[in-house]
Amino acid sequence: MEEMQAPHHGPIPSVVEKICIQGISDRNNHTMDGQDHTGLIQELNGLRMDDLTERNSTTQYNVGRMYDKGDGVPQNYTWAMVWYMKAALQGNSSAQNSVGILYRDGKGVPKSDSTAKEWFFRAADQGFADAQFNLGMIYRRDDDHPKAVEWFLKAAQQGHGIAQFSVGVMYYKGYGTPQDLSKAMEWYLRASDKGCAIAQFSIGAMYEGGEGVTHDDYAAAEWYKKAATQGLADAQFNLGILYQHGRGVSQDRLLAVRWYRKAADQGLAQAQYYIGLLLHVGTILPQNKSEAIEWYLKAADQGYADAQFNLGSMYDEGDGVARDYLKASEWYLQAANRRHTIAQFNLGSFYQHSKGLPLDISLAIKWYSKAAAQGSADALFSLGEIYYLGKNAPQDYTKAMECYSKAAMQGHAEAQNRTGDMYFKGNGVPQDLVAAREWYLKSAAQDYAPAQTNMGGLYHYGEGVPQDHQKAMEWFLKSAEQGDASSQFNIGVMYSDGKGVPQDYQKAMEWYLKAAEQGDASSQFNVGVMYNDGEGVPQDYRRAMEWFLKAAEQGDASSQLNIGVMYYGGKGLPQDHQKAMEWFLMAAEQGIARAQHNIGAMYYSGEGVPQDYQKAMEWYWKAAEQGIASSQFNIGVMLYSGEDVPQDYQKAMEWFLKAAEQGDASSQFNIGVMLYSGEDVPQDYQKAMEWFLKSAEQGDASSQFNIGVMYSDGKGVPQDHQKAMEWYLKAAEQQHASSQSNIGVMYSDGKGVPQDYQKAMEWYLKAAEQGDASSQFNIGVMYNDGEGVPQDYRRAMEWFLKAAEQGDASSQFNIGVMYHEGDGVPQAYQKAMEWFLKAAEQGIARSQFNVGLMYDGGKGVPQDYQKAMEWFLKAAEQGIARSQFNVGLMYDGGKGVPQDYQKATEWYLKAAEQGNVDAQAHTAVMYQGGKGVPQDYKKAMDWYLKISEREEASAQFNIGLMYEGGKGVPQDYQKAMEWYLKAADQDYASAQFNIGLMYHSGKGVTRHYPTAMGWYLRAADQGYTDAQRNLGLMHYDGMGVPPDHEKAMEWLRKAADINTIKSLEKMSQLSKASKGPIGRLMGITGKLMSFQ
Phi-psi group of 70: left, alpha or beta (phi > 0 → left; psi -120 to 50 → alpha; rest → beta): left
- Percentage of the chain modeled with pLDDT above 70: 92
Sign of CA dihedral 966, 972, 973, 979: negative
Kindly state the DSSP code that residue 1075 receives in the 8-state scheme: S
Specify the pLDDT at position 622: 94
Tell whether the model's pLDDT for residue 12 goes beyond 80: no
**pLDDT confidence bin for 617, thresholds 50/70/90:** very high
Nearest CA among 826, 860, 845, 842 for reference residue 773: 842
pLDDT tens figures, 803-862: 999 999 999 999 999 999 999 899 999 999 999 999 999 999 999 999 999 999 999 999
Backbone angles phi and psi of 388, in degrees to 5: -70, -50
DSSP 982-997: HHHTTT-HHHHHHHHH
Tell whether the model's pLDDT for residue 51 goes beyond 50: no
Long-range pairs for 932-935: beta carbons < 8 A, 24 or more residues apart: 932/900, 932/901, 932/902, 932/903, 932/904, 932/905, 932/906, 933/901, 933/902, 933/905
pLDDT tens figures, 997-1014: 999 999 989 999 999 999
What are the start-end ranges of the H helices in 606-628? 613-625
| Cα first-last separation, the chain | 67
Specify the pLDDT at position 234: 97
Tell whether the model's pLDDT for residue 21 goes beyond 50: no
Query: With 0-12 CB in 10 A as exposed, 13-18 as middle and 19+ as buried, what is 19?
Result: buried
Asked if 923 and 908 count as a contact pair (C-beta separation under 8 A), the reply is: yes
Tell whether the model's pLDDT for residue 36 goes beyond 60: no
pLDDT tens figures, 1057-1079: 444 334 333 322 222 222 222 22
Q: What type of residue sits at position 293?
A: I
Tell whether the model's pLDDT for residue 53 goes beyond 80: no
Asked if 381 and 415 count as a contact pair (C-beta separation under 8 A), the reply is: yes
Sign of CA dihedral 837, 839, 841, 843: negative
What mean pLDDT do residues 545-553 have? 95
Provide the total of helices (H) and of strands (E) in the chain, helices listed first. 59, 0
Q: How far apart are CA 693 and CA 788, in angstroms?
A: 34
- Percentage of the chain modeled with pLDDT above 90: 87
pLDDT tens figures, 113-159: 999 999 999 999 999 999 999 999 999 999 999 999 999 999 999 99
Asked if 1039 and 1047 count as a contact pair (C-beta separation under 8 A), the reply is: no
Phi-psi group of 1066: left, alpha or beta (phi > 0 → left; psi -120 to 50 → alpha; rest → beta): beta
Specify the pLDDT at position 643: 77
Nearest CA among 768, 769, 794, 790 for reference residue 779: 768
What is the CB-side half-sphere exposure of residue 906 using CA atoms within 13 A?
8
**pLDDT confidence bin for 25, thresholds 50/70/90:** very low
Asked if 308 and 343 count as a contact pair (C-beta separation under 8 A), the reply is: yes
What mean pLDDT do residues 324-337 have? 97
Cα dihedral 495→497→501→503 (10° resolution): 80
Asked if 335 and 312 count as a contact pair (C-beta separation under 8 A), the reply is: yes
Asked if 194 and 161 count as a contact pair (C-beta separation under 8 A), the reply is: yes
pLDDT tens figures, 906-932: 999 999 999 999 999 999 999 989 999
Tell whether the model's pLDDT for residue 18 goes beyond 80: no
Nearest CA among 1019, 1018, 1021, 1050 for reference residue 1033: 1050
What mean pLDDT do residues 163-182 have? 96
What mean pLDDT do residues 741-751 have? 93
What is the CB-side half-sphere exposure of residue 123 using CA atoms within 13 A?
33
Average pLDDT, the chain: 90
Query: With 0-12 CB in 10 A as exposed, 13-18 as middle and 19+ as buried, what is 281?
Result: middle
Tell whether the model's pLDDT for residue 868 goes beyond 80: yes
Q: How far apart are CA 296 and CA 9, in angstroms?
A: 18
Q: How far apart are CA 615 and CA 617, in angstroms?
A: 5
What mean pLDDT do residues 44-53 have? 46
Specify the pLDDT at position 55: 55
Q: How many CB atoms lie within 10 A of CB 720?
A: 14
Tell whether the model's pLDDT for residue 40 goes beyond 70: no
Domains of the chain: 225-302 (1.25.40.10), 447-518 (1.25.40.10), 534-626 (1.25.40.10)
DSSP 463-520: SSS---HHHHHHHHHHHHHTT-HHHHHHHHHHHHHTSSS---HHHHHHHHHHHHHTT-
pLDDT tens figures, 495-531: 999 999 999 999 999 999 999 999 999 999 999 999 9
Q: What type of residue sits at position 173?
A: K
Contacts of 1031 (CB under 8 A, 6+ apart): 1013, 1016, 1017, 1020, 1051
